[in-house]
Amino acid sequence: MVRLGFIVGLIALIGVLLSGAAAWRVHQQELAIDGIALARAVDVNASLVQDRLTERELLARVASGLFRAPATVKANMLQPLRSAIYAFKTDFVVAAWIARLKPNELEAAQRELKNESFSNPVIRDFDDRPLDLKAVDKPVNVVMDIEPRRPDTINIPGRVLDRHSIVGPTLEKAKAEGKPVASDPMPLLGSKDRIGIVLAAPVLDGAEPAGFVTFSYEIGSLMLSNDDLSLFAVALRDPREAGRELIASDQGVVSERAISEEHPPPSIVRTVTFGGRDWSLAYYAKNNATQRAQQTAAIVAAIGLAITGIVCGLFGYVAYNNLRLSREIEVRIGFERRLTAVIDELNHRVKNILAVIQSIITRTLRHGSDIDVARELLIGRIHAMSNVVTLLSESQWQGVQLRGLFESRSIPHADRIAVNGPDITVSARAAQSLSLLFFELASHSDEGLSLVGKHPHIVAHWEVNGEENGGTFHFRWEEFNTSQATRRPDSDFGLILLDRVAPEALGGTAKRYFTDVSYVYELTAPMATVIDITERDRTDQITAPVRP
């Protein structure tokens, strides 16, 4: 037997080593192949993105170069450029001519805008507020022409962009550098859903620019929006702002998201240049190469282990027949031990139930009690205990759903009780105490019918504050249409149960009081006693199937 086990173990060891070596080799090859494929796809995408950005910057340079000593106050300066800018097919959102006007040219420019039939020819601030032309004492940048002219764009000419938080500094930088400059990402045409970049190219007239030709582009079209078939998702980052990035969805909708320490780093980062600035393209692999390699390696390892298992199984068949008898003996011994533990636990719980019933009978049939009233109360209280035992038996003594204790078969007039609270599972000990508590409250609440002339409205609410094991259970019973003057005093058994027995059984505290419109009973206990982890673990242990 020992020799056979040694041979089987040696074969298994060799098979496991060979399977592990093959799986590791496949894992490394899959990682290398996926890495090469991703790098090539990223290089192609980054090259295409750079080409697209170069085309757009070239368009800005060509458009600014086509101006020859422009008359800045004219409102149709883009007319000669329309065929040229559309020939590039760079899918810009808006092209604009921004004239740099002196204070004495503003009124003439306003007349030009009016003659061009723009919707609002008044020279105004960037936020569409009127501008006092007499107060202007230095050149300002005014939008004089727009392309295309649509209902949502013809109201843009006439706006002064100097104080715009993004476009204003961009124009100043283009004026200082004398070449096209790209702005920070910003909403286009006042829409938060269309995030883009404005490329401003200065039109030089001597040393000072006469104005600027600007093109607005959506981020999604600039960085080639992600699609379902691509190996990666691409995001655009500004190196000057390391805490955020712009990412496009499959439909080309661009959104901004913050980059935190928990955020996974990009697989590859590439740098592109646009508008005199460097931008970073962050590529996130859609397929987890490591996970894929691990799955492939797992398949290879599984095949190797299966072959090893078949070989070992042939040699281990004889050993299995010898071990089967000893295993059956171990199962029988374990079953007998479990049976003993179950009987001991059953005796323990039966004694607890009998002790509770004995206490109920003793308190209910105390000396001097009315025999008819005591009989009804005794039957109801024992029936409540019977309902708890039934619920516990259905759950194999692993606890009771708290809402189940409010069923009509255990509590009188349960249909008049508004129950509200999380449906938590309480332990067997807590269920017994709470069932008697709910019965006592419900049975006594109906006594107020003869005093106030109508049924009291009852609300039973509980909640758990904090974590489940370390939290606090808070129960509140409130009877409306009840006052201290009309409500009968609680019985001796009820007072003992409400004030001492139930709180002590749950390790908590209780209080009773009247409000202006109701009678309130509150019970607070730690969740550790309401759930009773020790009892639950012991129940799980004795109800678990017997294994060798």
Per-residue pLDDT of the chain (548 residues; tens, 9 = 90+): 566 677 777 877 887 888 888 888 887 888 888 888 888 888 888 888 888 888 888 888 887 777 665 566 788 887 777 776 776 667 788 888 898 888 888 888 888 888 887 888 888 898 888 888 888 888 999 998 888 888 888 888 989 998 888 899 999 999 888 889 998 888 887 556 678 889 999 988 777 788 898 988 888 777 765 666 677 888 888 877 777 888 877 666 777 788 877 778 888 888 888 888 888 888 888 777 777 778 888 888 888 888 888 877 776 776 667 667 777 787 777 777 767 766 766 666 666 666 667 666 666 666 455 676 667 767 777 777 777 777 777 766 777 888 888 875 667 777 778 899 988 888 878 888 888 888 888 877 655 454 445 667 889 999 998 876 678 999 999 988 787 777 777 777 778 878 888 888 888 999 999 988 888 999 999 988 888 766 666 666 556 655 55
C-beta of residue 391 within 8 angstroms of C-beta of residue 399: no
pLDDT at 523: 94
Residue 410: is it exposed, middle or buried by C-beta count within 10 angstroms (0-12/13-18/19+)?
Answer: buried
Strand partners, 101: 140
Q: HSE-up of 378 (CA within 13 Å, CB side)? A: 17
C-beta of residue 479 within 8 angstroms of C-beta of residue 439: no
> Which H/E stretch holds residue 186?
strand 186-188
Residue 403: is it exposed, middle or buried by C-beta count within 10 angstroms (0-12/13-18/19+)?
Answer: middle
pLDDT at 451: 47
| C-alpha–C-alpha distance, residues 475 and 422, integer Å | 11
* From the candidate CATH numbers 1.25.40, 3.30.565, 3.30.530, 3.30.70, the one assigned to the domain spanning 365-540: 3.30.565
Q: Distances in Å between the alpha carbon of 281 and those of 143, 289, 481?
A: 32, 20, 70
The maximal CA–CA distance of the chain, rounded, in angstroms, is 117
Nearest to 438 by CA among 411, 458, 399: 411
Nearest to 199 by CA among 169, 220, 170, 168: 170
C-beta of residue 445 within 8 angstroms of C-beta of residue 437: no
- Is beta strand 208-218 parallel, antiparallel or unpaired with respect to 191-205? antiparallel
C-beta of residue 466 within 8 angstroms of C-beta of residue 486: no
Q: In 3-state terms, what secondary structure has residue 160?
A: strand
What are 371's two structure tokens? 């025999």
Nearest to 357 by CA among 388, 381, 387: 381
What fold, for 66-222? Beta-Lactamase (3.30.450)
pLDDT at 298: 84
| C-alpha–C-alpha distance, residues 199 and 215, integer Å | 5
Kindly give the interhelix angle for 533-543 and 428-445, rounded to the nearest 10 degrees.
120
Residue intervals of the chain classified under CATH 3.30.450.350 are 66-222
Residue intervals of the chain classified under CATH 3.30.565 are 365-540
| C-alpha–C-alpha distance, residues 462 and 422, integer Å | 7
Q: Where are the beta strands (DSSP E) in 365-457?
A: 400-401, 417-420, 425-426
Q: In 3-state terms, what secondary structure has residue 539?
A: helix
Q: Distances in Å between the alpha carbon of 372 and those of 93, 225, 365?
A: 90, 83, 10
pLDDT at 407: 73
Q: Distances in Å between the alpha carbon of 225 and those of 105, 194, 256, 322, 379?
A: 43, 13, 14, 66, 75
pLDDT at 472: 92
- Is beta strand 159-160 parallel, antiparallel or unpaired with respect to 124-125? parallel
What does pTM read for this prediction?
Answer: 0.50
